[in-house]
């Protein structure tokens, strides 16, 4: 796991290139499908799970682990693909900026075998915050660096500074700026670009053939957020968490809801107590809804936001759950890389209708 500073930067460059239940838990854990096929769960290892925008990354991460790679190195190489994709506006390069037009990135990671962690928040001008978070873990006695200090550290470690705002993301931000306040001095422009509100992020959790785990979550955060806002992705125990005796877990969606319940840690502890990965994710969603303030609930106590949890047990079982029916997640194991449907608490028809307040989309 340990490597020199030069080796670390080289590896980074290589990677860069390349509540009671609202309804009964009736969905069988998809991670149990291996038993139906006559396999043990461990036969699927190495295995990787992530949010749907990590479909390319889970394939890469699993291939790396088949060649003997560390689970965290593999997971970070997987999310690097999304961080460096300018078309994904929720992560890294091309991520939608804050209200001042500046992209600020958050990331955190954990390494199961060594029980170490690293994180960065409000990081500017560095496209791969996941690798900076790992550098914090590998080269400092700290866990969490933020803002200007995180950038200074990244530059000292050899990371290259670049403008993360692409022309496409700049135009989206300019349209938001022109249209979000009808009383300001900006002229609206309605027919050239579509305003986007990101709520994606990418979380990835990996387990090796021998059962070692790693986890990483990275994001550009709530689009048009107040400068300096840090979401759950940078917070160990919220955006991601792993325990080599249990497994790894993480989250995407409304970060403010997740932070309040230390969601990833909650999922791991539910699994430690015997819950399947999918059931643990569903229980975390229930807890998040219990802790949601009234302004974010409709008259039926349904949340006006999305939240998703992902979990991988060290024996190869996996699970994912979203508040509402519809989203998919990515997984790669002995059956290859694919998208599967998330378990859920409420059907799409039960989702609150009408305009969704922008602030409920944060992640």
Q: How far is CA 212 from CA 34, 111, 335, in A?
A: 19, 9, 20
Token look-up 């990135």 returns 105
Residue 130, token pair as written in the block: 């996941």
Q: Catalytic annotation on 218? A: no
Helix (H, G, I), strand (E, B) or coil at 49: strand
Question: Measured between alpha carbons, how far is 105 from 116 in angstroms, rounded to an integer?
Answer: 21
**Catalytic residue selected from 82, 201, 217, 292:** 201
Q: How far is CA 323 from CA 255, 281, 363, in A?
A: 14, 10, 14
Task: Find, among 88, 78, 30, 32, the residue nearest to 58 by Cα.
Answer: 78
Written as one string, the DSSP assignment of 186-229 is SPP--SS---------EEEEEE-TTS-EEEEEEE--STTPPTT-
Catalytic residues: 201
């Amino acid at each position: 796991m340990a490597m020199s500073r030069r080796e670390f930067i080289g590896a980074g460059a290589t990677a860069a290139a390349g509540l009671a239940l609202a309804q009964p838990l009736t969905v069988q854990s998809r991670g149990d499908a291996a038993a139906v096929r006559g396999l043990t769960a461990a036969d699927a290892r190495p295995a990787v799970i992530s949010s749907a925008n990590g479909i390319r990354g889970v394939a890469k991460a699993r291939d790396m682990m088949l060649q003997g790679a560390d689970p965290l190195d593999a997971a970070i190489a997987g999310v690097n693909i999304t961080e460096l994709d300018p078309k994904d506006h929720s992560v890294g390069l091309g991520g939608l900026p804050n209200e001042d037009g500046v992209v600020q990135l958050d990331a955190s990671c954990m390494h199961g075998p060594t029980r170490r962690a690293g994180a960065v928040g409000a990081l500017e001008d560095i496209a791969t915050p996941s690798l900076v978070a790992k550098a914090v873990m590998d080269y400092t006695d700290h866990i969490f660096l933020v803002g200007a200090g995180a950038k200074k550290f990244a530059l000292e470690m050899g990371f290259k500074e670049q403008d993360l705002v692409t022309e496409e993301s700049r135009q989206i931000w300019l349209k938001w700026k022109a249209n979000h306040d009808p009383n300001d001095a900006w002229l609206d422009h309605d027919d050239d670009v579509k305003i986007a509100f990101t709520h994606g992020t990418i979380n990835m959790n990996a387990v090796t053939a021998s059962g070692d785990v790693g986890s990483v979550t990275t994001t550009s955060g709530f689009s048009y957020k107040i400068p300096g806002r840090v979401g759950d992705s940078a917070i160990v125990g919220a955006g991601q968490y792993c325990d080599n005796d249990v497994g790894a877990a993480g989250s995407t969606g409304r970060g403010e809801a997740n932070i309040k319940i230390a969601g990833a840690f909650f999922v791991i502890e539910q699994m430690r107590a015997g819950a399947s990965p999918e059931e643990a994710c569903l229980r975390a969603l229930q807890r998040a809804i219990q802790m949601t303030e009234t302004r974010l609930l409709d008259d039926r106590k349904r949340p006006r936001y999305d939240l998703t949890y992902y979990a991988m047990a060290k024996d190869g079982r996996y699970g994912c759950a979203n508040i509402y029916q519809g989203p998919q997640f990515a997984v790669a194991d002995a059956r290859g890389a694919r998208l599967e449907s998330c378990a859920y608490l409420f059907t799409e028809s039960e989702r609150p209708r009408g305009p969704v307040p922008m602030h409920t989309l944060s992640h």
